[in-house]
Amino acid sequence: MTDFIIPKPPQQEKFKENLQNLLMCPECKEDPPHLVEEFSSGDMVCGSCGLVLGERIIDTRSEWRTFSNDDQGNDDPSRVGDGPNQLIDGDQLQTTIAFDGKNGKNLSHLQNKITQDKNSKQLMQAYRDIQGLTDSINAGTQVANAAKHIYKLVEDNKALKGKSQEAITAGCIFIACRQTGVPRTFREIYSLTKVSKKEIGRVFKQLESFLQKIGGEEHAITTSIPTFNQQYQGKGSTTATELCARYCSNLNFRNSVAVEDVARQLADKTSTISELAGRSPLSVAAACIYMASHIRNESRTSKDIAAVAGVSDGTVKTAYRLLYNKKDKLLEEIFPEGVPNLDKLPAN
């Protein structure tokens, strides 16, 4: 008989990670790259321009565990569990029973009935409303936390009794936007609710009076939010200069920084134009961006800018005509060596 030799299958090479791959910022293109691992947010960020290059990176640092006596006042650097939430009352150490079938449903319902009172449920619902509204206008986490803190101050002091919760929530968000330096107009906040504009205006004034009152007492506003670790001071309405940055970003200019710089300088100087002094900052900001876009040769139509600013096309053109009449004086101060693309500026 003939012996058959079965050939052995070729051995597959073990997977080896290619260590030659280099993560580089597509904006800066620095070599070697200047990368920063922000473990608090889980992001890999370019240290030069701030561009996020990776999300949810793994924290490779060691976990710490100590057995020190708490009475000695030693810090325990363990990262087990979340820290206490200062916006919620209680020790926050209760055990939560999950919903699991029929038995889980009964136990979970019974626990909620025993451990959660009506006031806590209303407070948590208000926090959820604030979070949802701030997310809808892209106001950020700092504004949401500040608005929640203001709302809790109102609840703890039993202020604004009889007022609509929706109006109080809108007023807290509006004040939080001003205090944290996030420009949002009253029209944007008003559009989030179904409450009348007059009612929100009244609640806003009462909220400011309330915050100024408790800010002068011994229990002044103290929180983890740096903006409120001081006596409350009311701030003026949102200016056209503050709105220019956000509007330019939404218009997707190729060189948004250059257009924004000219628009902000124009907006700063509009206070010297008596015809524009009493106009809405929305229309003034839109008119400044309209002129700046033509100067930087990245023109946008008045309709496009009006849609971003939330005003009508006619309002933008009216404000622009008033700005155009004073262009020689305004632009000479901004461009002492000559205005680029001056001949491309439309008359209306």
Residue 192 sits in the same domain as residue 242:
no
How far apart are the C-alpha atoms of 154 and 206, rounded to whole Å?
A: 11
Q: Is the separation of the CB atoms in 166 and 194 below 8 Å?
A: yes
Which residue range forms the structural domain that includes residue 249?
238-342
Overall pTM surpassing 0.75 (yes/no)? no
Residue 192 sits in the same domain as residue 245:
no
Residue 200 sits in the same domain as residue 253:
no
Residue 202 sits in the same domain as residue 277:
no
Burial tier of 48 (Cβ tally within 10 Å: 0-12, 13-18, 19+): middle
Residue 325 sits in the same domain as residue 249:
yes
pLDDT at 303 (0 to 100): 92
Residue 177 sits in the same domain as residue 250:
no
Q: Which residues contact 55 (CB under 8 A, 6 or more apart)?
A: 42, 43, 44
Residue 183 sits in the same domain as residue 248:
no
pLDDT tens track, the chain, 348 positions: 555 566 666 666 676 766 677 788 888 888 888 888 887 778 889 888 888 888 877 777 666 555 555 545 555 555 555 556 667 665 555 666 666 655 555 666 666 666 666 667 788 888 999 999 999 888 888 899 999 999 988 888 888 888 888 899 999 999 988 888 888 888 888 888 888 888 888 888 888 888 888 765 434 444 444 445 456 666 677 888 888 988 998 898 888 899 999 999 998 888 888 888 778 889 999 999 999 999 988 889 999 999 988 889 999 999 999 888 888 888 888 887 777 877 778 877
Give the dihedral sign, CA 261/262/263/264.
Answer: positive
Residue 283 sits in the same domain as residue 206:
no
Q: Which residues contact 298 (CB under 8 A, 6 or more apart)?
A: 253, 254, 255, 259
Residue 207 sits in the same domain as residue 266:
no
Q: Which residues contact 242 (CB under 8 A, 6 or more apart)?
A: 183, 281
Q: Which residues contact 176 (CB under 8 A, 6 or more apart)?
A: 139, 143, 144, 146, 147, 150, 182
Does residue 145 belong to any structural domain of this protein?
yes
Q: Is the separation of the CB atoms in 300 and 347 below 8 Å?
A: no
The tally of domains found in the chain comes to 3
Task: Give the closest residue to 253 by CA, choosing from 221, 295, 213, 209.
Answer: 295
